Each structure stands twice: as C-alpha cells, then as structure tokens.
Chain A
Amino acid sequence: MRILVNGQELTTADYNDIESKIQAAKETDLVAWNKLYLPLQIGWFNKLRHYLGLREKKV
C-alpha cells in the first residue's frame, strides 16, 4: 500500500525496512499476530453477522 509523508511517497528503502520488521514480528509470535485480527463484537446485529460468517465491509 502507498504511504504518503508530507504528500510524497515513502522511499523504497523505508518500505523495505517496514516490511522486514513486519516479517520478523510475524515469525517471532504468530499467536500474538493473529490476535490483531480478532473481530469486534458489539450488539446482536454484529454478533449475528459474525456468527453467520459475514465479514465486515473491508476498506
């Protein structure tokens, strides 16, 4: 994805830095990593939506 800093795209070196750190993090603790994507459960409507396996709208 694009990251803009003061309207300018991040340098390739910076993208690579971020990507390598993320890869290392994932390898360090996959259990914690997966927790990042726990669904937010609020209200009966969302609980039902989650129960039925309907995902929230992706942005």
Chain B
Amino acid sequence: MNFVHIAHAISYGDGASGQVIAMDKMFREMGLDSCIYAGKFDPKLGAGIKLFDEYRYKSGDIPIFHFSTGTSFVNKILQLPIPIVLYYHNITPAEHFAGIAWGSYFSARKGRRQLLQLREKTAFAWAASEYSRQELAEYGFRQTSVMPIIVDFTEYESVGQDATIVDRFRDGKINILFVGRVTPHKKQEDIIRVLFYYKRFIDSNVRLVLVGGQKESYVSGLRSLIGELGLENDVVFSGKVSFEELCTYYKVADVFVCMSEHEGFCIPLVEASYFDLPVFAFSAAAIPFTMGNSGVLFERKDYPVVAEAIRLLAGDSQTRQKIISAQRKRVADFGVEKIRQGVEKDLTAIKNLLLW
C-alpha cells in the first residue's frame, strides 16, 4: 500500500502546499509508504517531489488528490484507473473575485463544477475543517471526515527573529496584525476601517500590519481607501515574507484581527494563537470551527464594535490572559500527534474501501 499525494501545484508559503508536505511526512512517520507528485512545484521544495507526468499507477497505490482550485489538471485525476481519496481545502466562492480578479473568478467557478465531477471518482474525502466537510456532504460526497491542517510547531520554536522588523515595530505603537494573501475575500479593507475607528476614536498610537503576497488590482483599491481615510502612515504592507520574518511579525504584534469572509481553515489563526496574540475574528466559513471555544468572534461586521471590543478585551490584562489561555488550549488540537490519532481511524475505512 502506497499513498500517493497529488497536487496541481506545490509552492512555498502556501497553506495547501504545506499540508501536502506535512501529510506526506506524517504518513512516513506512521510507517506508511508515501510520496508526492505535482503538476508543477517550486524547485526550493524539490527534494522528494516528482512531476505528475512521470507517475505510473501501480497496484497498491492509493492516490490522494489535494484540491483547492479549478484547474485542467483535474482531468488527469479523473483519468486515473482507480477511485481516489480527496483532500478538500475548499474553494473560495467566485463572487468575491468578480470585477477585481477575473482569473480567480473563473478558476473558482470551474473548481465548483469539478468538485461535482470528482465526487464520482472519490471513495473517501478528507476536509480541512468541519465547515468544508459539511460542504462536501452537501455536494453529495458519501464518506467524509475532517483532517485539520497539520501545524508543525517545532519549526516555530526553533526559528530566529528578524532584527529589522523588531527595531521598526517595537516602538511603543499598538500593532494590529493580519496575515494572509491580500485578496478580495480576505477583506483587508474591513480591517483598515477598524483601524480608522480605533485611531480616530480610541488611540492614535496604532498601526496595521498586513502580511502576505498581494493581488495588485485589489491592493490598488485598498491604497485609495487608505488615502481617503488619511491612513497613509498607519498601514504597512509587508508583501510576501520568509518564515523567520513571519514569526517576527507575530512576535511584535499586539492583536490579530481577521475580517475574512471565506476560509477553508485559516492557519494564521492558529499561528497567532501559538504566539499568544488575542484573536478578533469575523465568524465566517471555517473560522469558528478553527477557533473553537477560543478567541473573540463577531457574528456581524460592525467596525466600531470590533474596535471597541479590542479596546475593552485586549486592553484589560486579565481578560487578555483568559483569551490567550483558551487559544493555547485550542492550538494543542492541531498538533501532529492529535491529528494522527484521527487519521488512523480514517485509514482503516480507506483501506476497506480501496483495497479489495
């Protein structure tokens, strides 16, 4: 029995790609045969990853297809001679991209259609969150289970910190942080509005740091909003960052604010919790499932309420500590050991379904 992880693309710093690599590693540690094939991959991650065009099915192979966006690569999966296991990261609803990023819009629409095609090919499906698992069930997938994104905390323990970031951001200002691609469904514009209220009505000694790669058409809209609100000196776009830089941003931040309207899991929520940042998040898609009974969740978007809640809850040291303690407990649910226990049960079901 050989688990073959297959992905359309594997790139550095991408959550879905990270999960492919982490699952492969976990399977090997469990004593299982496991390998990775990808349609394309970042050469930096090259060791052990092979091009999918070189893949030839062998008896005993169990293909696990990692699916997160619409792509013609799916046709190759549909042509495999046996049923597959699907790992579903979720697909952002296309309407978030309309008028801003048409390429992403059409990929998302295609992805939803392909999800239906993959249903017939799938014997067992894993989802990154209960939110995504419910979506699979609505699409008619019969055998489904949740395998959360694996976060290897040992990597965070050993990383150093970037002195330039520490010097720049440990200056006495309150640092509000969000980590994630600057893209329409993550709604960075709403965090900018929260910042505007906070700065004007609560404390002017504040800034917003937006960490993540950028979608230019959306960023230009954000920049014009920032200009209209007079926040040119208060919002920092980091662009794509190294792992060391990412961890340093978490260390220098005071609160983590997420107004995203679609997440299949949202690794930064777990990372922020790991770094003891109180999380304030809009309760959308997988976010309440990832946070569990921890952090501060809002059921509606009301910028003044979010800003005043940050003042009230993060500003009070006792409450802040309670939030951080609950988040620490939640983080433990995403460690490799905990996830492995759940996976072992699922593997028995998969073997029964696929190895006849």
A4–B303 CA distance with the chains assembled, in angstroms: 16
Looking at the assembled complex, report how far the CB atom of B14 sits from the nearest CB atom of chain A, in whole angstroms.
24
Residues of A1-41 whose CB lies within 8 A of B: 1-8, 10, 14, 17-18, 21-22, 25-26, 28-29, 32, 35-38, 40-41
A25–B305 contact, CB under 8 A? no
A42–B100 contact, CB under 8 A? yes
A40–B292 contact, CB under 8 A? no
- What residue of chain B has the Cβ atom nearest to residue A5's Cβ? B296
Interface size class of B (residues with CB under 8 A): 35 or more
A57–B95 CA distance with the chains assembled, in angstroms: 10
B300–A59 contact, CB under 8 A? yes
A6–B221 contact, CB under 8 A? no
B218–A18 contact, CB under 8 A? no
Known: A5-B296, A32-B200, A36-B196. A45 touches B99 (CB 8 A): yes
A17–B100 CA distance with the chains assembled, in angstroms: 39
Looking at the assembled complex, report how far the CB atom of A30 sits from the nearest CB atom of chain B, in whole angstroms.
12
Q: Which of B224, B284, B295 contacts A6 (CB 8 A)?
A: B295
Q: Is A43 an interface residue (CB 8 A)?
A: yes
Q: Is A44 an interface residue (CB 8 A)?
A: yes
Looking at the assembled complex, report how far the CB atom of A46 sits from the nearest CB atom of chain B, in whole angstroms.
5
Q: Is the interface of A mostly helix, strand, loop or mixed?
A: mixed
Question: Total A-B residue pairs with C-beta atoms closer than 8 Å?
Answer: 100
Known: A4-B283, A5-B323, A35-B228. A46 touches B309 (CB 8 A): no
Q: Is B293 an interface residue (CB 8 A)?
A: yes
Looking at the assembled complex, report how far the CB atom of B38 sits from the nearest CB atom of chain A, in whole angstroms.
32
Known: A38-B228, A42-B100. A5 touches B308 (CB 8 A): no
A42–B99 contact, CB under 8 A? yes
Q: Which residues of A contact B100 (CB under 8 A)?
A: 42-43, 45-46
Looking at the assembled complex, report how far the CB atom of B307 sits from the nearest CB atom of chain A, in whole angstroms.
9
Residue pairs across A and B with Cβ atoms less than 8 A apart, 29 shown, are A2-B298, A2-B299, A3-B296, A3-B298, A3-B305, A4-B283, A4-B297, A5-B313, A5-B322, A6-B326, A7-B292, A7-B294, A7-B326, A18-B309, A21-B311, A22-B308, A25-B304, A26-B304, A32-B196, A35-B196, A35-B229, A36-B197, A38-B225, A41-B221, A41-B224, A43-B99, A46-B221, A49-B99, A57-B95
**Given A29-B201, A46-B221, 19 other A-B contacts at CB below 8 A?**
A1-B299, A3-B309, A4-B283, A4-B296, A5-B313, A5-B322, A8-B293, A18-B309, A21-B201, A32-B201, A36-B197, A36-B303, A36-B304, A37-B193, A40-B221, A40-B225, A42-B100, A42-B220, A43-B99
* Top 6 A-B pairs, shortest CB-CB distance: A45-B99, A7-B293, A42-B221, A1-B300, A25-B201, A6-B326
